[in-house]
Structure 1
């Protein structure tokens, strides 16, 4: 059961095996208007997080049994609680703990002895960022978009429900999505995920997060979308669709059973209708309309 948030207070889960440290944190956070839950080890932290879905977790790095690193890894593997931001607490001299904290999915760290004003400020920033991120992803889920984000280093950062279902059903597509390298991630670039699915880069969400849209190869609805929204013919829409998927003119000719000269003629008309002069500009317009 989720914690009641009708009063608008942030719910913070403090994970610390030291009663003195836990008491200090509870007093500090409650004085700042937050509701506080306490777990004394990593296993209890996971159980409490699953039941209550706190807004943020303060995690002690070193504890007996399931430590903070193992607990965070467990949470990040659980879709229900993976989005909860985790701030690690560690000693001033424990540099290796700081590096490991980020490696397992922590968003930040504070060093002991903890400064109350700094802690409260960091909690405010990360909880607000998480709230915005959750709201955005919920909105994307409800629109039915097949979107996912990758960092280009073998990790899918998040995906809408519809994209997760497609990738779960197609093992080849999932493997190829993971294999997309960062040096190939450019807005407008396309990737073949399987015989049935492709993905196009439609935006960048930061230095290490790229947004991609999954499409079915030869999708009729995409051709119809381009035709209706851009005022092009059905054949021109087909050519433009494959252009947006990163195909060269000769490849488009082979796919559509046309001559390369005919493809060039279609593109000349498309460029004129769109008011652009080159492939890159036409691709950007097509991708924007397909992802809208």
Structure 2
């Protein structure tokens, strides 16, 4: 018998299926919650966090695939098992792409479903335990899907990203865009270092490997948190000028800076002109030397 606290949410527009699964789950000691459609399911998870979700793929209005995507946004670590009569490979792949972790075919065999539920709940609890251990040790680790979408991250990671993301209101979406093609690369190896250029300060992350279906990374923090803010605090320049100067200290060209900071090369050059004037220098080398000296002291 499982722990009585294990909660299973069953989402199916068929009352017959719901009734059959409700009996089977209760017999095994699970707490069963039922929803006739995706909207009801989303309302339930706002109040109760299930340990696993059984989700019908074919439902009116909001189908199982769309429901799955919305459920994963609310419950990224909760395993979702699709129940489907669709056995075409494209439909199976669509279910996994939506965030499903497994699927069973209809007509449902209760014993098979119970076995799958127990396995996925146990796996999820082990993963959660490992995540909690990382959280408590202040680790800088985070986990993403094969598409680069965030699955979980330790509090340290969230704090670090908030610190460097600046005005970016969707920093993880920005990170995902850079991660996705890299995760598809054939040259992906453990211990590889990737530099994310989405923010005003570069973000280096180390690939720790895959723990299917997730990829594990660790933020490589510099010895001290040297950001453009260090320059803004110590020099008579604006925030944007400090960002440009920061990248100048890395030897970046005006065109490269324009791409990193999402501005035109002409705008980058205008900021450079202001930097030269305020610092009393006449070239990038001199400006970079000043920036490097200040960053080294930070």
Shorter-normalised TM-score: what interval? 0.5 to 0.7
SS at match of 2:104: strand
Shift of the alpha carbon at 1:170?
Answer: 3.2
Within 5 A, what are the aligned runs for 1:132-211?
Answer: 132-151=126-145, 153-171=147-165, 174=172, 175-176=174-175, 178-180=177-179, 181-182=182-183, 183=185, 184-193=187-196, 195=201, 197-201=203-207, 203-206=208-211, 209-211=214-216
Which stretch shifts more, 177-186 or 7-16?
Answer: 177-186
C-alpha spacing 1:52/1:177, structure 2 compared with 1 (3 Å): closer
Gaps of 5+ in 2: 226-249, 252-298
SS at match of 1:59: strand
Distance in structure 2 (CA, Å) of the matches to 1:61 and 1:151: 21
SS at match of 2:158: helix
Q: Is this contact kept in 1: 2:4–2:31, CA < 8 A?
A: no
C-alpha spacing 1:98/1:135, structure 2 compared with 1 (3 Å): same
C-alpha spacing 1:130/1:217, structure 2 compared with 1 (3 Å): same
Q: Who is 1:114 aligned against?
A: 108
Matched, 1:24 2:30: no
Shift of the alpha carbon at 1:133?
Answer: 1.1
Gaps of 5+ in 1: 1-5, 221-253, 256-292
SS at match of 1:199: strand
Aligned residues: 214
C-alpha spacing 1:153/1:7, structure 2 compared with 1 (3 Å): closer
Shift of the alpha carbon at 1:191?
Answer: 2.5
Q: Is this contact kept in 2: 1:192–1:198, CA < 8 A?
A: yes
Shift of the alpha carbon at 1:22?
Answer: 0.6
Distance in structure 1 (CA, Å) of the matches to 2:191 and 2:56: 43
Distance in structure 2 (CA, Å) of the matches to 1:170 and 1:152: 24
Distance in structure 2 (CA, Å) of the matches to 1:29 and 1:164: 37
Q: Who is 1:271 aligned against?
A: none
Q: Is this contact kept in 2: 1:11–1:56, CA < 8 A?
A: yes
2:91 counterpart (78, 89, 97): 97
Q: Is this contact kept in 2: 1:62–1:68, CA < 8 A?
A: yes
SS at match of 1:139: helix
Q: Is this contact kept in 1: 2:24–2:110, CA < 8 A?
A: yes
What is the TM-score with the length of structure 1 in the denominator? 0.65
Shift of the alpha carbon at 1:29?
Answer: 1.3
Distance in structure 2 (CA, Å) of the matches to 1:95 and 1:137: 33
Distance in structure 1 (CA, Å) of the matches to 2:219 and 2:72: 24
What is the TM-score with the length of structure 2 in the denominator? 0.64
Q: Report the aligned-residue RMSD.
A: 2.7
Q: Who is 1:235 aligned against?
A: none
Q: Who is 1:70 aligned against?
A: 66
Distance in structure 2 (CA, Å) of the matches to 1:198 and 1:177: 14
